[in-house]
């Protein structure tokens, strides 16, 4: 890097946040509304009718973070802890490393990350956080951009 230039590096991510930067990189495919519904039925244990209503509210392949909290509570009450864990983890990454501009939705394309709960430690979460942040920062350079997505804690810690 030329003298006088600074940027957030993978080393910064590892040191500041403790997220792993080595491992399998997940490049999520875009999903449609039908795939979004199928993922939720199979991995979150919700009914087809419920998820269809949810995707109507979000107008696409997204889940509301508040809805995921409700799914978590409901699945804990019925002792379906695998579905509850997936809802919790998707809510967690949707409000942190994969936060979108609205900070109220998470893309359904991230749900397959939690298909096998015993394998989530194999992913390079820090790398994914940095990629998503850079993607949103590249959008932020346009004059008409009013909001920013990505892991803001990473940006704030790095600036400090």
Query: Do 36 and 114 share a domain, yes or no?
Result: yes
Query: Do 98 and 47 share a domain, yes or no?
Result: yes
Number of folded domains that form the chain:
2
Structure tokens that stand for 135 in this block: 């993607």
The strand pairing partners of 46, in sequence order, are: none
Query: Do 18 and 91 share a domain, yes or no?
Result: no
Query: Do 64 and 98 share a domain, yes or no?
Result: yes
Position 35 scores a pLDDT of 94
Query: Do 51 and 99 share a domain, yes or no?
Result: yes
Name the nearest CA neighbour of 106 among 140, 60, 152.
Answer: 60
Burial class (CB within 10 angstroms; exposed 0-12, middle 13-18, buried 19+) of 95: middle
Tens digit of each residue's pLDDT (9 = 90 or more) over 120-160: 999 999 999 999 999 999 988 888 888 899 999 999 999 88
Query: Do 35 and 114 share a domain, yes or no?
Result: yes
> What b/e readout covers 56-67, taking b as 16+ CB neighbours within 10 angstroms?
eebeebbbbbeb
Q: Which domain holds residue 157?
A: 1-25+125-160
Tens digit of each residue's pLDDT (9 = 90 or more) over 18-61: 999 999 998 888 899 999 999 999 999 999 999 999 999 999 89
Position 80 scores a pLDDT of 97
Query: Do 89 and 103 share a domain, yes or no?
Result: yes
Tens digit of each residue's pLDDT (9 = 90 or more) over 8-18: 999 999 999 99
pLDDT level of residue 6 (50, 70, 90 thresholds): confident
Query: Do 68 and 132 share a domain, yes or no?
Result: no
Query: Do 32 and 107 share a domain, yes or no?
Result: yes
Query: Do 116 and 57 share a domain, yes or no?
Result: yes
Query: Do 55 and 91 share a domain, yes or no?
Result: yes
The strand pairing partners of 64, in sequence order, are: 105
């Amino acid at each position: 890097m030329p003298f006088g230039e600074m940027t957030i590096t993978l080393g910064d991510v590892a040191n500041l946040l403790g997220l792993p930067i080595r491992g399998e990189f997940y490049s999520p495919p875009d999903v449609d509304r039908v795939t979004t519904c199928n993922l939720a039925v199979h991995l979150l244990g919700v009914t087809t009718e419920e998820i269809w209503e949810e995707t109507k509210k979000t107008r696409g392949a997204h889940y509301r973070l508040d809805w995921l909290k409700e799914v978590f509570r409901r699945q804990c009450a019925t002792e379906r802890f695998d579905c509850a864990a997936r809802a919790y983890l998707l809510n967690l990454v949707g409000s942190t490393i994969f936060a979108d501009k609205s900070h109220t939705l998470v893309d359904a394309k991230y749900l397959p990350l939690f298909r096998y709960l015993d394998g989530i430690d194999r992913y390079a979460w820090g790398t994914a956080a940095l990629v998503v942040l850079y993607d949103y920062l590249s959008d932020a350079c346009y004059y008409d951009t009013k909001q920013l997505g990505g892991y803001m804690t990473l940006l704030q810690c790095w600036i400090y």
